[in-house]
Amino acid sequence: MQPSIRPGPWTRRDFLKLAGTYAACGGLGGLGALARPAEAQPSPVHLNFMVWSYGIETIQDNIKSFQQRNPAITVSLQDTSWFNYHDAMATKFATGDAPDVAYSSDHWLREWVAADWIAPLDRYAPELAGAQGEWAPYARQGMTLGGHLYGLPYYADLIIFMYNAKTLKRAGFDHPPATWEELAAQAKTIKDKGLSEYPIDIPLKKDDPWTIEIFYSMVYSRGGHMFDNADAPVFNAPGGKAVLALDWLRDALRNKILDPAVLESAEPDVVKTMGAGQHVFTVLAKYNLAELNAGQHAQKGNFRMALMPGDSHSTVGFVRFYALTKAAVTRHHTEAAARFLQYFGGKTDGRYLVPQRWALEKGLGFAQLPLYDDPQIKAAINAWGSVALERQQAKLAAVKEGLTPWWGTWDVYAREQIGNVIVGNVSSQQAIKNMAAKWSELK
């Protein structure tokens, strides 16, 4: 028979013994605490982080790693589509629902600073500004205003020209087009040979913020400019390259070498149709080359980049960045937000952990130049692209000109004008005049 495990009834002696033991432990603990110097326990902080919807699982995983390293900080993530990110953020800021940390872009830097929505890092978290020397100049420029730094790079990339090398070879060409005229000629041949009904596809949807960066690239690559150093428009100067770029788009559509659906096609649509082999040439942000060559596409592995067609082969280099909001400063979350920014955009244990991860897993470009020396990254880029060509194109890249507080408004208007030219509602000259007039009005 097993002994009973039921305890006997409690006596007063048992109770006093137990109470004495607890008291002794507590007392010793208390003495111990007195003997040790007081350890500062950071008070818990909760940060709100707002992003556009891309790589959400990766972001969540990065947040998890950050929280493990910083147990006193919790982070909640909110996302919205890239297409309405600006408007969603404007609503959040205007209604007092601003996050602590948010993605931003060189598109909106002037506007957000003018609206007093984001805070200069060199003032509120000066330790974050120390790594600037390692960033690509165009990226640093895209995050700096009035001598103040407003972000740490999320990614920095280039608008590049891509083509389907297999189809190009089948059409009898041994090199990609070097000028826009050559591109039109090659496209015509490809169309005539029945290899693609519309060989060129470029995302020019009105509500896609990429549209303006692609248009800038088409102007830059011809050796043109949009604005001068004083932010005065030069795209409307006689013989300007912007008119040529618009004429080229309109003619390409008329000659049926440009997909007639360009005005309803955003970046993901073009990646899909290029990957399916519907089109041969496109202009997109560089990271899409990784997706086209490594993702699940029928034409996977056939895509190459080439220097932007045109006289100068120049293009737009852009930066998307992590910004510290003024709301975080008001809520006294600056220190926690700075730690977060450091982990996501800066170095942790001497390494750019998060930027490296984006580059390896998604092919995102980076502003942190030392990453180009990372053998792992070199190998990853060469698997779907070309480090050498990327570096060559990067040297020819320039930031978007005319970035002023009213540029964001002008950008939306300019996109509408580009669309109006393509559908034949207005002439290229008229559209350029309208764009210049709008600039003067906004100024």
Partner 1 sequence: MSTPLGLRRAVLWRARRAGASPAYHALTVIPVLLLVGLFTLFPLGYAAITSTRRVLLTLPGSTPFIGLRNYAQVLHDGTTHVAVTNTLLFAALTVPSVIVVGFLVALLLHQPIRGFGLLRALVLLPWSIPLVSAGIIWRLLLHGDFGALNGLLYQLGVVHSYVPWLSSPRLAMQAVALAHVWREFPLPAILILAGLQVIPREIMEAATAEGAGAWARFWHILLPWLKGPLLIILVYETMISVSVFDLVYVLTGGGPGSATTLFSWHTYTSTFTFLNLGHGAALSFIMAGALVAFIALTLRLIRVEARSA
Q: Which is nearer to partner 1, 252 or 371 (CB)?
A: 252
Q: Does 181 bind partner 1 (CB under 8 A)?
A: no
The least distance separating partner 1 from the CB of residue 442, rounded to whole angstroms, comes to 9
Size of the site for partner 1 (CB under 8 A): 40
Q: Which is nearer to partner 1, 171 or 262 (CB)?
A: 262
39 backbone dihedrals φ, ψ, rounded to 5°? -90, 125
Query: Cα angle at 368 between 85 and 78, to 5 degrees?
Result: 25
Q: Buried (b) or exposed (e) across 42-65, using 16+ Cβ within 10 A?
A: eeebebbbbbbebbeeebeebbee
Residue in 48, 196, 217, 265 binding partner 1, rule: CB under 8 A: 265
Q: Does 114 bind partner 1 (CB under 8 A)?
A: yes
Rg (CA), the chain: 28
CB 155 within 8 A of CB 355: yes
Residue in 416, 427, 429, 433 binding partner 1, rule: CB under 8 A: 416
Q: Which is nearer to partner 1, 166 or 272 (CB)?
A: 272
Q: Which is nearer to partner 1, 224 or 419 (CB)?
A: 419
The least distance separating partner 1 from the CB of residue 84, rounded to whole angstroms, comes to 8
Q: Three-class SS of residue 145?
A: strand
The least distance separating partner 1 from the CB of residue 52, rounded to whole angstroms, comes to 16
Q: Does 405 bind partner 1 (CB under 8 A)?
A: yes
Structure tokens at 241: 């390259």
Element (H, E) at 47: strand 45-52
Beta strand residue intervals within 276-432, DSSP E: 281-285, 303-306, 315-324, 397-398
For residue 195, give the nearest of 252, 268, 257, 240 by alpha carbon: 257
Structure tokens at 366: 């980076």
The least distance separating partner 1 from the CB of residue 146, rounded to whole angstroms, comes to 15
Q: Which is nearer to partner 1, 39 or 116 (CB)?
A: 116
Which region holds residue 61: left if phi is over 0, alpha if psi is between -120 and 50, else beta? Answer: alpha
d(C-alpha 108, C-alpha 151), whole Å = 12
Residue in 53, 78, 425, 430 binding partner 1, rule: CB under 8 A: 425
Stretch that binds partner 1, among 234-242, 266-274, 314-322, 362-370 (CB under 8 A): 266-274
Residue in 77, 90, 178, 353 binding partner 1, rule: CB under 8 A: 90
d(C-alpha 223, C-alpha 309), whole Å = 11
The least distance separating partner 1 from the CB of residue 321, rounded to whole angstroms, comes to 19
Q: Three-class SS of residue 319?
A: strand
Q: Three-class SS of residue 426?
A: coil
The least distance separating partner 1 from the CB of residue 80, rounded to whole angstroms, comes to 12
Q: Does 419 bind partner 1 (CB under 8 A)?
A: yes
Write out the binding residues for partner 1, residues 184-243 only, by CB under 8 A: 197, 201, 205-207
Residue in 273, 288, 334, 368 binding partner 1, rule: CB under 8 A: 273
The site for partner 1 (CB under 8 A) is made up of 83, 86-87, 90-91, 93-94, 111, 114-116, 197, 201, 205-207, 259-265, 269, 272-273, 276, 278, 405-406, 408-409, 412, 416-417, 419-420, 422-423, 425
